Structure 1
Amino acid sequence: MNALILVVDDEPDVADLFRQQFRRELRASRFDMEFAQSAPEALGRVDAAESASLILILSDVNMPGMSGLELLPRARQARPDVPVIMITAYGDPETRRKATEAGAPGLFTKPIDFPVLRGEIGRRLDEALGPS
């Protein structure tokens, strides 16, 4: 069983960007990535994921319909063991406060600093699976 990271963003090119940025890790089967283009789709993926495999959710804040900030408490209720890190183009203090108050352990601003995100994912993998 591989560790699973769920990326939630309504922009279709995000999946390609993440696959390209993490191609080495994905090829080495260090973890799997799944993508959802809406919060309701993400909640379905969370419910369907094997309990031990889902280790991290990365969610955009601004999405049509249900926002990432609305997704956050629902995902945490469904899987309190899985951290939800928010991603936003707007790293203003109010967005950061709302994300933190809702239980997000981190917030990345766009454009994403992928080396920093890679480090964060590595820490989450170590916590979930033990050092590799």
Structure 2
Amino acid sequence: MSVYILVVDDEPDVEALFRQQFRRDLKSGRFMMEFAPSAPAALQRAADIKDPSLILILSDINMPGMTGLEMLPKVRAERPDVPVIMITAYGDAETRRKAIENGAVGLLTKPIDFALLRLEIDNRLGQAA
């Protein structure tokens, strides 16, 4: 079974950054990463991956159109089995509160601590096995 992580961010350089950080995992097939440039595209992708192989969604908060915080309750309603971690440049208490209230399991601030994210991914992979 292929295991997917969905990364949602409107900045094109984010995909290259994630692919570089997780290149060994991706090359070995430990998990696959899908990238969505917007919240609506992410909602569609989350709906398309029907089986439990979608194990984590990482979403930026500040995006044009629908924000990550606006997407969060929609994706949680569609896929309550998939944890969502929000990513923001502004890790203030109010943003954290809104993210958690809307169903996020965590909030990462930019620049992303990839060691911490790797631990979270390892934990999700362990739960999916």
TM-score range, shorter chain: over 0.9
Q: Which runs of 5+ in 2 are unaligned?
A: none
Distance 1:80 1:20 in 2: 29
1:21 and 1:78 mapped to 2: Cα distance? 29
RMSD of aligned C-alpha atoms? Answer: 0.6
1:122 aligns with 2:122: yes
How far apart, in 2, do the equivalents of 1:70 and 1:125 lie?
27
Mapping for residues 13-92 of structure 1, pairs under 5 Å:
13-92=13-92
Alpha-carbon distance, 1:52 to partner: 1.6
**Structure 1 ranges of 4+ moved more than 3 A:** none
Q: What's the % identity of the aligned pairs?
A: 69
Shift of residue 50 of structure 1?
2.9
Aligned residues: 129
Q: Shift in Å at residue 34 of structure 1?
A: 0.2
Give 1:120's aligned amino acid: E
Question: Can you list the C-alpha shifts for 1:44-71, whole angstroms capped at 9, x where unaligned?
Answer: 1011113221010000000000000011
Q: CA deviation at 1:115?
A: 0.5
- Stretches of structure 1 that go unaligned for 5 or more consecutive residues are none
Look up the match of 2:102. Answer: 102
The normalised TM-score by structure 1 is: 0.96
